[in-house]
Amino acid sequence: MYNGQKFRLRVIQRHLARISLKLFAFSGLLICTLNTALGAPKKLLLQTQIGVTQAEYAEPALGASSEQIGLHIKQGFTYRLVQNRIDLYLGAYINGLGNWISAKEVLTTGASETPGGPTYWGISFRAPISLSPKASRWDFRISPGYSTWGMLVKDNQYGLQLLAAPTLSFSLRNRKSGTRSWGIGLKFSPLEATLAAFSSNRELAIGFDFQLNSARAKRPLSLNIDYSSTLFNLPTDNNGQLRDGDFSSLSAGLALQW
């Protein structure tokens, strides 16, 4: 794929990213309205997570990099479209919140480290589909979806303001009655429609969660641990010039379902 084609693809993705930002609040309201209209309070699940994220970002060509440890907040809405078969999930997160526990960055080649760093945000949508028999103690799901994330950097000196791409997730969860729930998940997101998406233009993420309170608790409390690695080589201006870099994050948090 030529640089010009890559740039046009990124323009389309950015438009989709802006649309997803505008529709996030509306989608959450729509899910709540559907839930009320159908008279099925158990169809809508909300999950709030608060935790700590360690994040690293680097753009070698610019000589820019950042390392941070800070708080994150995640909010998710799950709507059970078909009981035990198909769900709709909408989620959002923000890392940093402008108050990193520890943060340092380098803005250009040869510059010294300074305090501070970007704030990361993201919005995602997916439709988990269960492929397991109803009687099975294991629930295996495949989840096609779409995600948008970006960075808030002072004066936009470096970083990716918007990045949007389709996602494909796989998850396996223990659902044996009377036992605490736990599960693992894997997510793949190609950042371009070529084979390079498997090597230099992709996001890979893995996650694990374990319920901490009683299996019979009305509001399950779980420990969530997630790791994500993103490699990118993308055009960012009208000339189609490429920028390459990488981003990784490790997070742990407590999530309450209500």
Reported as a single tens digit per residue, the pLDDT across 120-146 is: 999 999 999 999 998 889 999 999 999
Tell if the pTM clears 0.95, that is, is over it.
no
SS3 133: coil
98: number of CA atoms within 13 Å, CB side? 1
Can you tell me the distance from the alpha carbon of 258 to that of 250, in angstroms, rounded to the nearest whole number? Answer: 25
- List pLDDT tens digits, range 221-240: 999 999 999 998 876 654 55
Q: Which of 9, 12, 18 is nearest to 162 (CA)?
A: 18
Which of these ranges, 88-92, 162-166, 194-198, has the smallest mean pLDDT? 194-198
**pLDDT score of 165 more than 50:** yes
Residues of 238-255 as b/e, b for ≥16 C-beta within 10 angstroms?
Answer: eebeebebbbbbebebeb
CATH code for the domain defined by 3-257: 2.40.128.100
CB 190 within 8 A of CB 207: no
